[in-house]
Chain A
């Protein structure tokens, strides 16, 4: 049995995150820090997945690359921070229900904002420049500049502290292993979103149309479906997910600044490129790889953590120029 069939039998590219975890264990040495790093990597990966999935789908469906996507991430983070700051009683309360109410209100308002802003963005900014890549890039960059300035004007240039609900502070302790509760929560939320997206895309009629549109937009249009309307919906959901990811990230970091969107956008792009455009499975795979590798390398060689993702991207582009699991090859 040669290497490639063995690779395919153990799960192919889907097994890469597991492979990475196994390789990291002897390098890190200590079992407890390996668990901590792995959990952190998975949680980070899931949050990045939230931000990346929308971008990937929007690109796959309509060939639109939205450089302004990071504005939704930043807005989500800042809105969630403001919402949590508005509810000190709920956030600080020892009641689990009130904690969750505050958290879900914050994430919900951020996502709702993403939904509405996504609609506005699609109609006003993106629609006039469909099918013109150069102007698309330019105009979404322009929108990004404006959005970042609005954030600076609204929340000021100084870092903003994010109050975290009391019950999500602290860690589970199992033996000598400690796992932060917030990370488990972030992982769970990301996984839930992935499952919902997966089911919608693979089990419903709308999902069928979206997948068909990603594969061949003109054919779907020729069959009489209004792909434009579908696209607005996908764009709105993608923006809402980005805002949700930003909101989760704000809680994870505890202190956010205006540069957050731009920094995360690099990771999001790397994830989308690694995963392959247009597929949420690819985005998930890419996000987990980036999250895990980032955390392992930050522990082993602190100075190389961002560069490691770049090297990962280059390696994968050499191996598979269209990414790991692309829905379409350009």
Chain B
């Protein structure tokens, strides 16, 4: 048989092209993040790049729950916040040392594990939908506690502290002969670069771990549970144990991401960690990117971050253009960008439940 005798299979071709596009885009994003300080040297872009790194880990670990295992949790920012507050309180109390980061980070991770086990054992026994409600209640209580126990957490104002000396802008990583900060491709090699690469490499490592998990036998069991938990149980997998352990894994990764975020930001408050708005952001990112695909998280995060900046600008222009019409300017106000994103989200869940990456790769809806 020759090659020409094999009938071509257009859907498979299209899926292959789609997969190439998705992985190509994700690869480009990865490269852009890797060289972000050189490609986008201004401060604001650096901030956005670090935020994207952190949120890729956060969204991917959330996808492990919602996309791979089919459990809906609203407590993901709670674990994120625990990691961040652990590091923040340690850095504030013990001074800017690496020991403080390690100690605070481990304390945050430990708290996340304890809470995740408690919530999982208490409520994963009953239906998944029950679990969504319990996590929502737990997360909001934690958010209130963080803003009320102001002796420890700084209340609404949060905690300001300094990171280890290596990350301070005054630190010289490379020096020229006359003792000044050396420049590489026009970018000063100071502590800011070190801080960014600390964030980037930590996030890369965590993202790699997540990818290993979903490709491991554990990942396959999780997908089996998502597709049909009764059958998985009947085959002999202990569904509750698997659900609880994946919830704990996701919690630990979220807490670690929170710890890195706290080191980068040098500020931790309820708004940057515990707020429900962040939870909604993560949910939108995962669903827009594509549930059940790790690259989907990457694409979703970048789209949401770009939307946050550019959709607002676009809407501001549109609001000015329609200022003569009665209701439109209020609806097009830049602060109302979530309104349009919400509508987009509803349409996406209706028509493309697999999200951008899932639809392109034809993973099919569940």
- The B-contacting residues of A in range 89-134, CB under 8 angstroms, are 125, 128-129, 133-134
Answer whether residue A149 sits at the interface, using C-beta atoms and an 8 A cutoff.
yes
Question: Are A321 and B141 neighbours in the complex by a CB distance under 8 Å?
Answer: no
Which of A67, A146, A303 has the largest number of chain B CB atoms within 10 A?
Answer: A146
| Chain A residues with CB below 8 A from B287, complex form | 138
Answer whether residue B280 sits at the interface, using C-beta atoms and an 8 A cutoff.
yes
> What string of 1s and 0s marks CB contacts (under 8 Å) between B323-363 and chain A?
00000001101011011011101100110010000000000
> Chain A interface: which of B36-44, B143-151, B310-318?
B143-151
| Chain A residues with CB below 8 A from B330, complex form | 153-154
Distance, CA A187 to CA B339, complexed state (A): 36
Question: Are A149 and B338 neighbours in the complex by a CB distance under 8 Å?
Answer: yes
| Chain B residues with CB below 8 A from A149, complex form | 336, 338-339, 342
Answer whether residue A195 sits at the interface, using C-beta atoms and an 8 A cutoff.
no
> Chain B interface: which of A20-28, A281-289, A307-315?
A307-315
Distance, CA A65 to CA B130, complexed state (A): 9
| Chain B residues with CB below 8 A from A272, complex form | 133
> Chain A interface: which of B2-10, B121-129, B199-207?
B121-129
Within the complex, the shortest CB–CB distance from B134 to chain A, in Å, comes to 7
> What string of 1s and 0s marks CB contacts (under 8 Å) between A317-330 and chain B?
11001100000001
Q: Which of A129, A142, A157, A273 contacts B133 (CB 8 A)?
A: A273
Distance, CA A165 to CA B148, complexed state (A): 34
Q: How large is the interface on A (under 10, 10 to 19, 20 to 34, 35 or more residues)?
A: 35 or more
**Residues of B contacting A: mostly:** helix
| Chain B residues with CB below 8 A from A297, complex form | none
Answer whether residue B107 sits at the interface, using C-beta atoms and an 8 A cutoff.
no
| Chain B residues with CB below 8 A from A128, complex form | 350
Answer whether residue A152 sits at the interface, using C-beta atoms and an 8 A cutoff.
yes
Question: Are A142 and B339 neighbours in the complex by a CB distance under 8 Å?
Answer: no
Answer whether residue B140 sits at the interface, using C-beta atoms and an 8 A cutoff.
yes
Distance, CA A142 to CA B353, complexed state (A): 13
Question: Are A310 and B137 neighbours in the complex by a CB distance under 8 Å?
Answer: yes
- The B-contacting residues of A in range 6-51, CB under 8 angstroms, are none
Within the complex, the shortest CB–CB distance from A171 to chain B, in Å, comes to 29
Q: Known A135-B353, A310-B138; judge A330-B132 contact (CB<8 A).
A: no
Within the complex, the shortest CB–CB distance from A142 to chain B, in Å, comes to 4
**Residues of A contacting B: mostly:** helix
> What string of 1s and 0s marks CB contacts (under 8 Å) between B16-37 and chain A?
0000000000000000000000
Question: Are B127 and A330 neighbours in the complex by a CB distance under 8 Å?
Answer: yes
| Chain A residues with CB below 8 A from B343, complex form | 142, 146
28 cross-chain CB contacts under 8 A: A67-B132, A129-B349, A133-B72, A134-B70, A142-B342, A143-B346, A146-B343, A149-B338, A149-B342, A150-B339, A152-B336, A153-B330, A265-B136, A266-B141, A269-B137, A270-B137, A273-B130, A273-B133, A307-B141, A310-B137, A310-B138, A313-B137, A317-B122, A317-B123, A321-B125, A321-B126, A330-B126, A330-B127
Q: Which chain B residues have a beta carbon within 8 Å of chain A's beta carbons?
A: 66, 70, 72, 118, 122-123, 125-130, 132-134, 136-138, 140-141, 144-145, 148-149, 276, 280, 283, 287, 330-331, 333, 335-336, 338-339, 341-343, 345-346, 349-350, 353, 366
Apart from the given pairs A266-B137, A322-B126, 14 other A-B contacts in the complex at a CB distance below 8 Å: A65-B132, A128-B350, A134-B66, A138-B345, A142-B349, A145-B341, A145-B345, A149-B342, A270-B137, A306-B141, A307-B145, A309-B141, A310-B141, A317-B122
Q: Which 5 A-B pairs have the closest CB atoms?
A: A145-B342, A149-B339, A146-B342, A142-B346, A142-B345
